[in-house]
Copies of this chain bind each other. A is one copy, B any other.
């Protein structure tokens, strides 16, 4: 059934089908697309011919004529980050069946690669684009306007007149911070992503605001947003500030890295250091201890972003203001009171 052009027989085209059915190529096209009027008799003849000659549509010919490919790009910074893997899944689910292909592109969080990937995507004349811009991205409104239907997901870019879908990061990160403050912590390290990313800025703002309200000194650490990067950053943080009793993890890989760093230092969670993560992951629910975390509704975000692209493709207006999807604090068991004042129990190296 799915036999394609091998190296062997030349593949059938609408012309082959037309000849076989004794009709014109346009009639074949009409039957195949289901548009316009075709008599039942003709339709049956064409369908029989399609099966007989083993015709398989050529999307390239169609795209060239239509001046548009039914394909939407999803440009992200790292498919290894489960958040983006989940995002891909939920977006793809919306597009599947609507005849839109989702094309995954990785920027590796590098702005040069980002531009290359976008050029590549653009060469296919796609119908739309979903993008989480790289750090210090040089993308402009003009660049994105070229894609017709462009929507930012998760990360935004300053001064870009493009719709976006984000989590209520300042509020959610503030709540996460207050969760630790409320347990009695004062020395709370925020292990963030790359300086310059909107996600870092927004989560940092929520953290700083909560710390300021509590008159606690903010302790901010930037990372490359990966587990190994966060692991190293946490160790440095602990050495520079031995009094740290709690940490906030920027995303799932960073939260992983924090746990690895704590282990490196012989520190227990939550007895020595409490932890609240941002963005849930399956293992966090049963990790000992289960990790308290701000869950980002990634499926909702993906669905919403996909629908916005669909609306733009259909020419419907979409509000340029950020579409904010609320995160939820899941209280599990990684937050406890700070260790007692007895310095021998603090376990600093």
CB-CB under 8 A from A57, the residues of chain B are 123
Any chain B CB within 8 A of the CB of A341?
no
Complex Cα distance, B125 from A208, in Å, reads 53
Within 8 A of B (CB), among A52-99: 56-61, 63-64, 69, 79-80, 82, 85-86, 88-89, 92
Closest to A263 in B: B286
CB-CB under 8 A from A115, the residues of chain B are 1-2
Given A88-B79, A92-B106, residue A283 in contact with residue B283 (CB < 8 A): yes
Least CB distance, A4 to chain B, in whole angstroms: 3
Any chain B CB within 8 A of the CB of A205?
no
Any chain B CB within 8 A of the CB of A282?
yes
Closest to A282 in B: B227
Complex Cα distance, B283 from A103, in Å, reads 29
CB-CB under 8 A from A106, the residues of chain B are 89, 92
Question: Do residues A2 and B146 form an inter-chain contact, with CB atoms below 8 A?
Answer: yes
Complex Cα distance, B103 from A43, in Å, reads 34
Stoichiometry, as copies per complex, reads: 2
Per a CB cutoff under 8 Å, which of B59, B80, B143, B227 touches A2?
B143
Given A64-B64, A79-B79, A119-B2, residue A59 in contact with residue B89 (CB < 8 A): no
Any chain B CB within 8 A of the CB of A37?
no
Question: Do residues B56 and A122 form an inter-chain contact, with CB atoms below 8 A?
Answer: yes
Closest to A61 in B: B64
Question: Do residues B148 and A7 form an inter-chain contact, with CB atoms below 8 A?
Answer: yes
Question: Do residues A2 and B122 form an inter-chain contact, with CB atoms below 8 A?
Answer: yes
Any chain B CB within 8 A of the CB of A29?
no
Within 8 A of B (CB), among A213-270: 227, 253, 256, 259-260, 263
A/B interface sample: 7 pairs, CB < 8 A: A2-B115, A2-B143, A56-B119, A60-B69, A64-B64, A103-B103, A287-B287
A interface list, Cβ under 8 A from B: 1-7, 56-61, 63-64, 69, 79-80, 82, 85-86, 88-89, 92, 101, 103-104, 106, 115, 118-120, 122-125, 139, 142-143, 145-148, 227, 253, 256, 259-260, 263, 282-283, 285-288
